[in-house]
Every structure is written in C-alpha cells, then in structure tokens.
Structure 1
C-alpha cells in the first residue's frame, strides 16, 4: 500500500509545522499527531486492516523523519498501531469462536446446505459482510484514538491525585524543570492540603524566562518559592526532602530524556540520598532503548552560553556546546509518577509491553 496524494495533503502541513518548530511541547505534539492519524484513518481506503497498518507505518515514518529527536511522535504512532492490532486480534478471536460454533451444528442441516445452489448470493453476502466489518473496524479505531486524545488531554489529573500522598507539610522540594506544566500542576494541587517550599533552578541558559514565569505562578498560588542558580544545587541539596523532575520521554530501560542540567541535579541528589520523583504521562513512555545517547540529545544555540561579542575569549575555546536535553539513567530515579500510577524504573518495560506491540518498534 502506498500513501495516496489525499493522505499526503493531510500529512504535509503537520510535517511542515514539526520542521519549523511551530508545535511546542510534548503534549501539544502528541495531540496534533493523534488528530492527524484520526483524519488519515477516516480518509484512507482499505478493505484489509493490514493494509491500514502499512499506511499508518509509512505516515509514521514521514512524521518521525520531520523531527527525529522528538520521541513522542513515534510513541503516538505506535500506540495507534497497537490499537489496530488489538482490534484485529479481537475480530480473529470472535470469528474463530463463530467457526467452532458452526462445527457443532447438526449433521442434518449440513446435509441440506450441501443441496443449496445459491453460490452467487453467498459470495455477495460475504463481500457485504467484509465491507461492513471494515466500516465497523474503522469506527472502532477512530473511537480508540478519541479515547487516546482524552487520555493525553487529561494526563495531569491522574498525576495530581498522587501529590498529596507524596508531599509532606513543611517540606523543601527542588525542581530543575521549570518548563514542565505537569510538575507545575502537581505542586499546585499539593498546595491545597500541604504547606511546603519549592526551590527552582534557573536552568541556564535556555529556560531562564520560563523559570521566572514558573516561580511567579507558584507564588500566585501561595506557594513559598525560591529561585536559585544552577551552581547552588549541591549547597542546598542537604536541606531538600525530594527532587521532582519533568521528562520529555521515558525509555524502556527506565531512563529518561529531560531538560539540560537535570543530570547534575540528580547526581547531587544521589550523593545526598535524596529521593528523585519523575513525572511523565503514559504517552511519553517509549519502547525504544537509548543505545546511542549522544544522538538523542539536541544541541541549541551556542551563543547563549558564550556571547559572540566576546571574540577574544572565543578564540581560546575549541568547542562551545549548548545541549537542550540531558539523559538521566534509571539508577538516578526512584519512582516514575504516571497517570496510571507510580512505578519503579525497572518496571517501565512492563508498562511498555502492555501499550505497544514489539513488531512496531521499528517502523521502517
């Protein structure tokens, strides 16, 4: 099955938006990809569900190539493929049950059916039945994607409910991910029943503006908040009760990709035996393994690290890099808080197996 011009006309605008970074944030990207796949399934012409799987795999390959380092794009495509395969298995199970029931029919009815000569009518009936099954399957898959969209939209609600049990009164918390809306809602929800202090790192040089906005929002919700430089992390860690981090994606081995600078914070937390909680929606869990970690980390504008006006200093520096993300290994995280519960990093692979199919790990 090839991708028709009709489907390409639906996919091309989203590909352009991904390449131009017009869609920001993992949640917005996941919702955009889910809605696109729903339109593709509605438009695509297929009679065999395996043809639909081929179409979705090709569309997924195009979307992933538009922004290869955004893992959430592939996650949503694989979730939809797993949904289709589950429906195929359900149909196969029900048809095998019907076939076994037909074997139990009396011999007399089978003998009379041999004498019938309505072959043309039976063929047309089978064709009509398969057509009906494909239309029913299409509507079931679309409803499944709508449920996925609802899950992504309401992901914070499931995580917020655990905040009161994990945060204690008069506790000092540290978060090095001020760009995470999930962490923000997690802390605001906990403030309804707990009184605590939050230390927020500046996350220099990429998220200083977001950090200040994050602190302002927490202060407006009557949460005592202190903005600290990244260099002060080790000095304050002995007073911190818990470190709460957001994540861009979580891999099958339990490691995660998160904001630049977080790797240093969790290293300090491990040294002081401070527990680290990572919050992540289920759609961020990926069946991929971080074999080559350097390829996962995107590099930003190096001019933010060292201004180009300091040309005398730049002449004495060989390489200036500004990584936008950090890889945090599973041994530095104590528990993942998701919208379906809290899990140890060693258990993430089991959650991945429940939501993805192994045959769709490689879409090419």
Structure 2
C-alpha cells in the first residue's frame, strides 16, 4: 500500500527545513494526509487506513521537537481511527481524512488571526518590540498592532545559523513597520531600548516552559534582567501533551555544517566539535504571558490548556502505531 510521492516530498521539505515554522509544518503535515486520501488507489477501507498510518509515521519522524507536527497528525488520524473502528466504508473514510485535514488547516489559520487580535491589545503606541526567529503568530501580533495605527518599531535578531530573522525583518518591513536588524549577540545591548519582547513557540510544556529556536532563552533572560515584558504567541496545538506525564521534549540536533561550511570545517583540527541544537528551553519564570487563540494566560496555566485540549490523547497510543 504505497505512500504517494507528494507525501514523501512534503516530508523531505519538512526535514530539510524548506518548510519551516511550527504552524506551517503542522498545516503541511495535515495537507499531506489529505493528499494521500485524495490520491489513494486503495481498493478497501483496510488498505486506505494502512496508507494513512504509514504516511503519518513518515511525517512524524521528520522533526522531533516541534509538537505541532504530531498534534496535526493526531487531529486527523484520531478522527480517522474512530471512523474506521465504527465501520466506515472506503468513501466515508476518505471523506473523514480529507475533511479533518481541511478543518485543522482552517482552525490553524484562524488561530493565528485570533492571536494577532489578542496580542495587539497588549502593544502600546510607541512601543519598541524585540523578536527572535520567525513566527507567523508573533509577526501577526506586530502587524495587527501596526494596522491599528500604533507607531511601533521592531528589533529583529538574525537567528543564526539559518537566519530566520531575515524572513521576519522582510515581512515586517513590507507591512511598513520600521525594523532594526541585529546580530544575536546584540540582544542585550538593544534590550535597554526595548519595551516588549514578542516571540513564538515550537512547543510549550505542562509547566509553562517554552521550547523555541535556540537563542530564545537568552533573549528572555535578558528581558527579565531589564524588566521587559515577554509575550509568547502560540496556537494551542503547540502545547505538548506528553509533558503532562513528565516526558521530556527532545531537542533536535542539526548538521554542524549549518554552522561552519563543510569546506572550512574539514580543515579545522579534529578535536574541535561543532554542536548545532535547533532549539532551547525558556523557563516559565522568564515569561509573562502566553497568547493563544483561546485566551491570554500566565505560563503556569499551560497545564489547564493541555488538559482541556489533549487530555483524551493520553489514554491512547498514537493512532498510526496500531
């Protein structure tokens, strides 16, 4: 029961970071399952269910840290599994997969809009904001504040080694927002002129800790030192259900050649080891509020979001592992 090439292509793009950003990764994963159902040659409902599970397994193993990916897969496959176990026929099961994927994508896009509305209310006229990496939700907050007529300026860190800050800087500038683009190490230097920090998240744990692009924790620590408010913009599907059970979030380690080009690194002494963690962990005490599409919460309330949104998931194995 083959997985279509479009699913394999999406999986590879997620793995190589051609598709990047937790929200975009999640929507792409859901869309991949939709494509599998739409293009399946399965003759029986059993064959289709096996195809969907195999596609989900392939997608699941692309990036280990961003929980938005497995949460998107769970959204689609859990509903598909319920329908399969209830005796759905082939066409009904296809419909469930396709409709669930479309529903997830729609909800995800609406969540970003809601977060922008909630977050913009906490931005004041004249604010200078610092941000790190690229987050559609965080960018949405700043763009919404600007659209509301608030005169803001944004300091964007470059975000080594993949320079995602360039994406953020260009998006904000295209919206008309004045941008200061700085190296990561300059965050503390510019924090003294910063009023608020707005960043995204790849995963949020039960205790309110935020896993985001490496460097986030240093920006948040510097903000705390300067008594600058730190706001995290994140959809509820970025909350990590397994952390309710005490599971630790795996931090992805990427290729050292992203940090030092191969042709240069190959000439270095062999006792130099280059490490390239993609993410770090920001403790909840460095964060003032988390802005979700549901509400604005303090970090310690993350556990309530997890119980409400994902409590059911803890009772079952992953739908694609059956």
2:23 to 15, 22, 27: 27
Residue equivalent to 2:285 = 331
Residue equivalent to 1:120 = none
- Quote the Cα distance in structure 2 between the aligned partners of 1:152 and 1:144: 12
Residue equivalent to 2:75 = 79
Quick check: 2:138–2:233 contact (8 Å CA) kept in 1? yes
Residue equivalent to 1:206 = 162
- Quote the Cα distance in structure 1 between the aligned partners of 2:258 and 2:10: 29
1:191 to 141, 146, 151: 146
SS at match of 1:198: strand
- Quote the Cα distance in structure 1 between the aligned partners of 2:262 and 2:5: 42
Residue equivalent to 1:227 = 181
Q: Residue 303 of structure 1: CA displacement?
A: 6.3
What is the count of residue pairs matched by the alignment? 312
Residue equivalent to 1:114 = none
Quick check: 1:81–1:360 contact (8 Å CA) kept in 2? no
- Quote the Cα distance in structure 2 between the aligned partners of 1:310 and 1:16: 25
1:38 to 19, 22, 34: 34
- Quote the Cα distance in structure 2 between the aligned partners of 1:347 and 1:88: 35
Report the more deviating stretch, 73-82 or 160-169: 73-82
Which residues of 2 match residues 43-122 of structure 1 at below 5 A? 43=40, 45-46=44-45, 57=53, 59-84=55-80
- Listed one character per residue, the Cα deviations across residues 20-78 of structure 1 (whole Å, up to 9, x for unaligned) are 5543333332222212323455656338xxx9888755543332234434433211111
Residue equivalent to 2:218 = 264
Quick check: 2:30–2:101 contact (8 Å CA) kept in 1? yes
- Quote the Cα distance in structure 2 between the aligned partners of 1:307 and 1:7: 34
Quick check: 2:289–2:297 contact (8 Å CA) kept in 1? yes
- Quote the Cα distance in structure 2 between the aligned partners of 1:160 and 1:70: 21
> Against the structure 1 CA distance between its residues 83 and 347, is the aligned structure 2 distance closer, same or farther, given a 3 Å change threshold?
farther
Q: Gaps (5+ residues) in structure 1?
A: 92-129
Matched, 1:163 2:119: yes
Q: Residue 12 of structure 1: CA displacement?
A: 4.2
2:254 to 283, 291, 299: 299
Q: Residue 335 of structure 1: CA displacement?
A: 1.6
1:150 to 97, 106, 112: 106
The normalised TM-score by structure 1 is 0.70
> Against the structure 1 CA distance between its residues 24 and 172, is the aligned structure 2 distance closer, same or farther, given a 3 Å change threshold?
closer
Quick check: 1:287–1:361 contact (8 Å CA) kept in 2? no
- Quote the Cα distance in structure 2 between the aligned partners of 1:310 and 1:7: 38
- Quote the Cα distance in structure 2 between the aligned partners of 1:310 and 1:83: 48
Q: Residue 243 of structure 1: CA displacement?
A: 0.9
- Quote the Cα distance in structure 1 between the aligned partners of 2:12 and 2:168: 30
Q: Gaps (5+ residues) in structure 2?
A: none
| Structure with a larger share of its residues in helix | 1
> Against the structure 1 CA distance between its residues 238 and 316, is the aligned structure 2 distance closer, same or farther, given a 3 Å change threshold?
farther
Matched, 1:279 2:279: no
- Quote the Cα distance in structure 1 between the aligned partners of 2:180 and 2:7: 44
Residue equivalent to 1:102 = none
- Listed one character per residue, the Cα deviations across residues 66-125 of structure 1 (whole Å, up to 9, x for unaligned) are 443443321111122444577799x8xxxxxxxxxxxxxxxxxxxxxxxxxxxxxxxxxx
- Quote the Cα distance in structure 2 between the aligned partners of 1:169 and 1:78: 41
Larger radius of gyration: 1
- Listed one character per residue, the Cα deviations across residues 256-288 of structure 1 (whole Å, up to 9, x for unaligned) are 221221111111122223221111123323313
Q: Residue 351 of structure 1: CA displacement?
A: 2.3
> Against the structure 1 CA distance between its residues 53 and 187, is the aligned structure 2 distance closer, same or farther, given a 3 Å change threshold?
same
Which residues of 2 match residues 306-321 of structure 1 at below 5 A? 309=264, 314-315=268-269, 318-321=272-275
Q: Residue 251 of structure 1: CA displacement?
A: 3.1
Root-mean-square deviation (CA, aligned residues, Å) is 3.6
Quick check: 1:159–1:186 contact (8 Å CA) kept in 2? yes
